[in-house]
A and B are shown apart, each in its own frame.
Chain A
Amino acid sequence: DSGVTQTPKHLITATGQRVTLRCSPRSGDLSVYWYQQSLDQGLQFLIHYYNGEERAKGNILERFSAQQFPDLHSELNLSSLELGDSALYFCASSVWGLTDTQYFGPGTRLTVL
């Protein structure tokens, strides 16, 4: 158990819908990262937040947005969902930034029908 929690574990929804994925980092970690793992692609970096501020952005679609709240938990919002958004979404946390060890959560499996 890495100490990073993600909810929900599984999510099934329809095309066009909007969902929110939640991540709670390890106690004391200030950075949160979001990743997407889809079947046809490997692990892809989406976005990095540090202490509530966006620090780096990867291949995150405009339909997706994220934020990190004052209590340091983070949410990833996915809207206008398409079939291709079906994937495993991981959250990770680290104490500071990207030169620190990242601890991954168990992931949220999103299925868009």
Chain B
Amino acid sequence: ILNVEQSPQSLHVQEGDSTNFTCSFPSSNFYALHWYRWETAKSPEALFVMTLNGDEKKKGRISATLNTKEGYSYLYIKGSQPEDSATYLCAFWTGNQFYFGTGTSLTVIP
């Protein structure tokens, strides 16, 4: 079983703050990294799928970067809003197995 680690485990920020969190994964056997946004009592919602070293993706105020050589991805949220409050989950695909991190729980305080 591979270890996919996310930090921090939880985060409280003020509305308007920018924030970022980390997903760390083994640098070998990399195939793809997925980021999800998961609100309580809902299903995970895909944010990004990243496959290439150096990949940068953006969706509105949320962006992500990928470093496959050192085994990490960053997710950034610019100008956090209360509706950004959710758990952000990353998942690492090795080619034949899919491993999830335990998530970063973000609370944006109005």
A contact residues vs B (CB 8 Å cutoff) = 2, 33, 42-45, 48, 56-58, 90, 92, 98-107
Complex Cα–Cα for A57 and B97 (A): 7
Report whether A43 and B31 are in contact in the complex, using a CB–CB cutoff of 8 Å. no
B contact residues vs A (CB 8 Å cutoff) = 31-32, 34, 43-46, 49, 51, 89, 91, 93, 96-103
Q: Which residues of B contact A57 (CB under 8 A)?
A: 96
Q: Which residues of A contact B102 (CB under 8 A)?
A: 42
Report whether B97 and A56 are in contact in the complex, using a CB–CB cutoff of 8 Å. yes
- A-B Cβ contacts below 8 A, count: 50
Complex Cα–Cα for A105 and B102 (A): 20
Report whether A43 and B43 are in contact in the complex, using a CB–CB cutoff of 8 Å. no
Closest to B44 in A: A104
Report whether B43 and A104 are in contact in the complex, using a CB–CB cutoff of 8 Å. yes
Give the secondary structure class of B's interface. Answer: strand
Report whether B100 and A42 are in contact in the complex, using a CB–CB cutoff of 8 Å. yes
Complex Cα–Cα for A102 and B33 (A): 12
Chain B nearest Cβ from A102, distance in angstroms:
6
Report whether B93 and A105 are in contact in the complex, using a CB–CB cutoff of 8 Å. no
Complex Cα–Cα for A81 and B7 (A): 35
Other than the known A2-B45, A42-B101, A92-B44, what 18 A-B pairs have Cβ atoms closer than 8 Å?
A33-B98, A43-B44, A43-B91, A44-B100, A45-B97, A48-B98, A57-B96, A58-B97, A58-B98, A98-B31, A98-B98, A99-B31, A99-B32, A99-B49, A100-B49, A101-B49, A104-B45, A106-B43
Q: Which residues of A contact B45 (CB under 8 A)?
A: 2, 104
Chain A nearest Cβ from B7, distance in angstroms:
15
Report whether A45 and B100 are in contact in the complex, using a CB–CB cutoff of 8 Å. yes
Q: Which residues of B contact A98 (CB under 8 A)?
A: 31-32, 93, 98
Closest to B43 in A: A104
